[in-house]
């Protein structure tokens, strides 16, 4: 539904060039909620602004719903109308809502329809329908100043849906909201995704957002995507920084000559018997340092961190035994430079 190929964006500011995007290949499938996460300055906002051509990419292409937007933008003013139409099929939600304070809630939602030239009666019908959809039917005549942050964001979402978009882009839509309100807005986005088959690309720096509603995710660093995939694929990737942050287990080695191993299992399979078999077969004492079970992206995942006596070299055989059981095994400390993605939870 959204594909960017070799997308780059270089800003020139005060004689200096800043590469905000450095060859981004992103692929968002129809009907999925896709999260892009990364630290401040990673290029997340630049990416989303290039996807709807609010910002003109320096090079590369953006294809949304089969239409090459970069080609349209490159064809000069005559293609402007086509580009505007294509853009009206891409809804955008902002962190600070960007509502017009002098207009009522309903008039804010009607704004994009006015620009599209929709008749007054149809505009009003559509706006009221959308306000109902986001749970604000009773606030149509209120002004933005009379609403809570969560309600303002609901208006922002209703406005973004006015052009019947197939794609919704969200740049930190919940960053200005408290945790409770964040949850309700995420739930609304999830519902809209399911009910309307809306494809959602969202930008966030909060792992919890990815964890609660995303089907797929990408990690951005310095203008590049360094990891991406469905949540299931990421969790099955040994050494994945996103997986570690999505599903952290903690627990440090109790001494120097110890090997720490994370065992990941899904759904029904249980680690307990495997761990006791391991202890019996090799006659070793195993300590459990940490364990967690959680639902991530709709998947039930369990992870257990165990400690084996001896260094890695002494434990190649027992680790092989675990791998043979089809369990996902991560030997901690041996994975190549796992970037510290989020402070809490990451090792």
Ligand X SMILES: Nc1ncnc2c1ncn2[C@@H]1O[C@H](COP(=O)(O)OP(=O)(O)OP(=O)(O)O)[C@@H](O)[C@H]1O
Positions that interact with ligand X (CB under 6 A)? 11, 13, 18, 20, 38, 40-46, 205
Q: Looking at beta carbons only, is 46 or 328 nearer to ligand X?
A: 46
Q: Looking at beta carbons only, is 45 or 264 nearer to Mg ion?
A: 45
- Distance (Å, rounded) from C-alpha 67 to C-alpha 88? 13
Instruction: List the structure tokens of 161.
Output: 């849906």
CB of 46 to Mg ion, least distance (A): 8
CB of 251 to ligand X, least distance (A): 30
Return the closest-CA partner of residue 65 out of 44, 43, 88: 88
Return the closest-CA partner of residue 186 out of 199, 202, 197: 202
- Residue 245: partners with Cβ closer than 8 Å, 6 or more residues away: 207, 341, 342, 345, 346
Q: Looking at beta carbons only, is 43 or 163 nearer to Mg ion?
A: 43
CB of 17 to ligand X, least distance (A): 9
- The interface partner of residue 159, options being ligand X, Mg ion, none and the CB cut-off 5 to 8 Å by kind, is none
Comparing every residue's Cβ against Mg ion, the nearest one is 45
Q: Looking at beta carbons only, is 45 or 193 nearer to Mg ion?
A: 45
- The interface partner of residue 282, options being ligand X, Mg ion, none and the CB cut-off 5 to 8 Å by kind, is none
CB of 209 to ligand X, least distance (A): 13
CB of 45 to Mg ion, least distance (A): 3
Cβ atoms of 248 and 284 within 8 Å: the answer is no
CA angle 24, 30, 36 (to 5 degrees): 40
CB of 44 to Mg ion, least distance (A): 5
Q: Looking at beta carbons only, is 20 or 301 nearer to ligand X?
A: 20
CB of 243 to ligand X, least distance (A): 21
- Distance (Å, rounded) from C-alpha 269 to C-alpha 327? 9
- The interface partner of residue 126, options being Mg ion, ligand X, none and the CB cut-off 5 to 8 Å by kind, is none
- The interface partner of residue 42, options being ligand X, Mg ion, none and the CB cut-off 5 to 8 Å by kind, is ligand X
- The interface partner of residue 38, options being ligand X, Mg ion, none and the CB cut-off 5 to 8 Å by kind, is ligand X
E strand map for the chain: 2-13, 16-28, 33-38, 59-64, 67-68, 90-93, 167-171, 199-204, 216-221, 224-230, 258-266, 287-296, 299-309, 328-331
- Distance (Å, rounded) from C-alpha 136 to C-alpha 151? 8
- The interface partner of residue 274, options being Mg ion, ligand X, none and the CB cut-off 5 to 8 Å by kind, is none
- Distance (Å, rounded) from C-alpha 108 to C-alpha 117? 15
- Residue 336: partners with Cβ closer than 8 Å, 6 or more residues away: 239
Q: Looking at beta carbons only, is 171 or 215 nearer to Mg ion?
A: 171
Host H or E run for residue 146: none
CB of 55 to ligand X, least distance (A): 8
Site string for Mg ion, 20-59 (x = CB under 5 A): -------------------------x--------------
- The interface partner of residue 174, options being Mg ion, ligand X, none and the CB cut-off 5 to 8 Å by kind, is none
- The interface partner of residue 112, options being ligand X, Mg ion, none and the CB cut-off 5 to 8 Å by kind, is none
Q: What is the distance, to the nearest Å, from the Cα of residue 334 to the centroid of all Cα atoms in its chain? A: 27
Q: Which residue has the tokens 């019908």?
A: 125
- Distance (Å, rounded) from C-alpha 270 to C-alpha 272? 6
Q: Looking at beta carbons only, is 225 or 306 nearer to ligand X?
A: 225
Q: Looking at beta carbons only, is 46 or 182 nearer to ligand X?
A: 46
CB of 183 to ligand X, least distance (A): 21
Instruction: List the structure tokens of 38.
Output: 């990364």
Q: Looking at beta carbons only, is 92 or 113 nearer to ligand X?
A: 92
Count residues near Mg ion (CB under 5 A): 1
**105-133 per-residue burial string, b: 16 or more CB within 10 A, e: under 16:** bbbbbbbbbeeeebeeeebbebbbebbeb
Binding site for Mg ion (CB under 5 A): 45
């Amino acid at each position: 539904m959204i594909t960017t190929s070799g997308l780059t964006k270089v800003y020139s500011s005060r004689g200096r060039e800043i590469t905000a995007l450095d060859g981004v290949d992103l692929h968002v499938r129809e009907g999925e909620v896709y999260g892009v996460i990364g630290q401040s300055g990673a290029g997340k906002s630049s990416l989303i602004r290039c996807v709807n051509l609010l910002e003109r990419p320096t090079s590369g292409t953006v294809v949304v719903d089969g239409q090459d937007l970069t080609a349209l933008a490159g064809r000069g003013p005559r293609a402007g109308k086509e580009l505007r139409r294509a853009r009206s099929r891409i809804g955008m939600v902002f962190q600070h809502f960007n509502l017009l304070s002098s207009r009522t809630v309903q008039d804010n939602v009607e704004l994009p329809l006015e620009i599209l030239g929709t008749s007054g009666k149809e505009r009003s019908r559509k706006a009221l329908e959308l306000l109902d959809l986001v749970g604000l039917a009773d606030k149509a005549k209120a002004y933005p100043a009379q609403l809570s942050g969560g309600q303002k964001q609901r208006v922002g979402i209703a406005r973004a849906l006015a052009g019947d978009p197939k794609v919704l882009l969200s740049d930190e839509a919940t960053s200005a909201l408290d945790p409770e309100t964040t949850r309700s807005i995420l739930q609304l986005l999830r519902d809209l995704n399911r009910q309307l088959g809306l494809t959602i690309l969202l930008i966030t720096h909060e792992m919890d957002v990815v964890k609660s509603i995303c089907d797929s995710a990408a990690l951005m660093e310095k203008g590049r995507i360094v990891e991406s995939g469905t949540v299931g694929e990421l969790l099955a990737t040994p050494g994945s920084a996103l997986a570690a942050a999505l599903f952290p287990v903690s627990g440090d080695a109790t001494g120097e000559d110890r090997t720490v191993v994370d065992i990941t299992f899904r759904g029904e399979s249980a680690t307990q018997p495997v761990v006791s078999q391991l202890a019996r077969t090799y006659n070793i004492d195993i300590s459990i340092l940490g364990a967690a079970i959680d639902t991530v992206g709709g998947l039930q995942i369990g992870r257990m961190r165990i400690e084996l006596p001896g260094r890695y070299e002494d434990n190649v055989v027992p680790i092989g035994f675990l791998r043979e059981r089809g369990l996902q095994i991560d030997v901690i400390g041996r994975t190549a430079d796992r970037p510290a993605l989020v402070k809490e939870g990451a090792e």
